[in-house]
Structure 1
Amino acid sequence: MATRCLGEREGLTFWLARPDDYDDVMSISDDIYLGNDYLPHRYHIWLEEPGRVVVLARRDAKMMALESFLVVDEGSTVVVEGLRVCPTQRGTGLAGVIQRFVDAYVCQLHPSVKVKRLTRNDDPGPSKLAKFSVLARRAVLSFAGEAESFESFVSHLRSKLTASGPSVPTVVPLGTEQLRKVLLDPGLPSRTRLPGGAIIQDWQPLRPMEGNLAILGRKDLDWFADKQEAPAFLAVSTRPYPVPFEGGALRSSVDLFGADPELAKVALVSMLERARCQGWLTEKVLVHMYLEEALVEELRSFCDGHAGVREWTSSWLQLLVEGPVEESN
């Protein structure tokens, strides 16, 4: 185990994660994201992902905390993800300890990295974000229901679009080469109003540049746009994946980029239809939709009116921030 030990700080020892740490990691993950935790599904994937490091903190051999980082932007930035602390230690400052250690380790391992980027589901205010720049603020709409209800929910939404008349806009799926051209188009961020100039895909913010295409390509994603060249609206969704919500559910995340509410509705329905074809073979389904705050009420109204699918919680927040990676503190 000594070869995995990265160092000590403030009574903690820090280790590179390995597959047999899975149970210990899950033991500190109770109630993370209110049952929406992606890490049970992605932990082993993360350990094999190029450019990613998963760091564990222990005290007297007991698991205390986890944080992961992924090198992006062709080596100049890290995206920080997965931070969690043992339930009995939350609010004690332990999160800050592992964050400072990981910052120093990033500088040691990747001297070219100067910036860290992350998303949050809250806004703690200027005092706690003093070292960060807030790049963007988005809204999140979430819906939950039984898998059987989601089948009719998607049909319900499609019928709403059809009832709107022949002027309903369309979206088209993007293949690999089409997607590459779209993402590397320098006009994309302004046309689609990318938050902070980044594509935030299921909470992971990546700038649309050559070095990040491989990261996006490793994921099983569906992409839609209003047109295949110079689109003004872009949407991306995950394939349904398992989360521990209410004993087990499938989660789909839909990120919408653009200001047109009609295109947002069409893209949402198209992505839900694709997810339905991929199979909701579980009792419960969760869909999280990330979009501009100005679109929330219209999309909420569009999704309303189906007895079997409910809004899971009132609209919440996705905050994109960026700050310096600090060598020591």
Structure 2
Amino acid sequence: MDVLKFSDLDLDFYPATEKDFAQVRSLCSDERHYMSSIYHSWLQERNRVVILAKCNRGVVGMSSAHIVNDGQTALMEGLQVAASERGKGIARLVHKHILERVRARYPEVKRQCYLTQHEYFKGFSVLSKQCMVFLRFPSINVPALISEAIGNMKKSGDEYYEAISLQPDDVRSIFLNRTVIDTILPGGRIIQRGSVFKPLESNLDILLKRDIVWRADSVGNTRVVSVGTAPFKDPMGNYIFIIDMFGTDLPAVKRVFLSQLQSLPHLQGDVLCRLSVNPSLSPQMWEFCTKKMGLEKRKQYLKNSYVIEGDIFQTIARL
């Protein structure tokens, strides 16, 4: 049976508001989705557009565009479609509509950028690729688990020293360093919980206002840096901890990963971790996390993500 496709005439588009939260939350049923934790802050954020798509059955789609990179790029985030309405062309219409709003409101913005798990890049440039590792903490004392992992590293002869907790001045010094940008950051970009930024002063101003754990193996001669998003509850009641890791030095990546875990507060309930690493390290980090630390794998425990960028006008024409 043919699936009935939506057209522009079937949907109403309007700016999201606080009173829409319950319907927005119903769109984001994925257990790892972060929307519940950031929706309200998105509505208060400068240079951000959040729209909802509604039909006679209620809200069926949403998307957001955040103007970043010194006002040159629309960072596309939060594209969601109601599970019952997927495959009917709603995502295409929502994407087209929000791009048209960006073009009308911010005519100087010509580029769009986003993180995607789909391997379809027609009309886009692929800037980088990361591998996401999905893990679950067993119901044991997390500090004890970390201490055991550190002890095992030392016994096996791995060099171990404490990673550095970065202060704002450290963050600016490291992330604006040309060597770090060219050799450590994936595609010369900072990735944080699905957001993608060029390493610019204005973007660091945005990030430093967020509840982020910044770690590096060292401030001088930096080989690995990471961005940890404060744990949030998903729709299923689990705590989600997202760690974006940059760099390919495996021993340093392990140390910085453990340092991120040490920053976790005591949490009651299941804790899930989404670790993003350079694809060349995903087999080794998978083995370290599951075999050496005893963390448990999730259903889809390894998945690639891509940072892509394209021209807004060309995309609207294709849509």
What SS is found at the alignment partner of 1:187? helix
Confirm whether residue 109 of structure 1 aligns to residue 105 of structure 2.
yes
From 194, 202, 211, the counterpart of 1:203: 194
Confirm whether residue 321 of structure 1 aligns to residue 300 of structure 2.
no
Confirm whether residue 269 of structure 1 aligns to residue 268 of structure 2.
no
Counterpart of 2:231? Answer: 240
Q: What CA distance in whole angstroms lies between the structure 2 residues aligned with 1:147 and 1:239? A: 20
Q: What CA distance in whole angstroms lies between the structure 2 residues aligned with 1:23 and 1:146? A: 31
Structure 2 portions without partners, runs of 5+: 1-6
Confirm whether residue 12 of structure 1 aligns to residue 1 of structure 2.
no
What SS is found at the alignment partner of 2:291? coil
Say if 1:153 and 1:306, in contact at 8 Å, map to a contact too: no
Say if 1:118 and 1:204, in contact at 8 Å, map to a contact too: yes
What SS is found at the alignment partner of 2:65? strand
Say if 2:216 and 2:225, in contact at 8 Å, map to a contact too: yes
What SS is found at the alignment partner of 1:160? helix
What SS is found at the alignment partner of 1:259? coil
Counterpart of 1:309? Answer: 295
Shift of 1:147: 4.9
Say if 1:103 and 1:325, in contact at 8 Å, map to a contact too: yes
TM-score, normalising length: structure 2: 0.91
For the aligned residue pairs, the C-alpha RMSD in angstroms reads 2.0
Matches within 5 A, 1:173-188: 173-188=165-180
Q: What CA distance in whole angstroms lies between the structure 1 residues aligned with 2:96 and 2:263? A: 41
From 243, 266, 269, the counterpart of 1:279: 266
Q: What CA distance in whole angstroms lies between the structure 2 residues aligned with 1:12 and 1:195? A: 38
Say if 1:156 and 1:306, in contact at 8 Å, map to a contact too: no
What SS is found at the alignment partner of 2:178? coil
CA offsets, 1:72-99, max 9 Å, x none? 0010001111111122210111100010
Say if 2:228 and 2:241, in contact at 8 Å, map to a contact too: yes
Q: What CA distance in whole angstroms lies between the structure 1 residues aligned with 2:18 and 2:169? A: 35
Confirm whether residue 132 of structure 1 aligns to residue 105 of structure 2.
no
CA offsets, 1:143-198, max 9 Å, x none? 11345354443233222223234733542111111111112222221231x11210
What SS is found at the alignment partner of 2:160? coil
CA offsets, 1:20-62, max 9 Å, x none? 10111122223x3xx1110011111111112211100111372
Counterpart of 1:5? Answer: none
Amino acid at match of 1:258: G
Structure 1 portions without partners, runs of 5+: 1-7
Give the % identical residues: 26
Matches within 5 A, 1:30-179: 30=29, 32=30, 35-60=31-56, 62-123=58-119, 125=120, 129-148=121-140, 150-165=142-157, 167-179=159-171
Confirm whether residue 231 of structure 1 aligns to residue 217 of structure 2.
no
Matched residue count: 309
TM-score, normalising length: structure 1: 0.88
Say if 1:254 and 1:288, in contact at 8 Å, map to a contact too: yes
Say if 2:61 and 2:79, in contact at 8 Å, map to a contact too: yes
What SS is found at the alignment partner of 2:222? coil
CA offsets, 1:194-250, max 9 Å, x none? 112101112211111011011101211111222213522211111211112xx3111
Say if 1:141 and 1:300, in contact at 8 Å, map to a contact too: yes
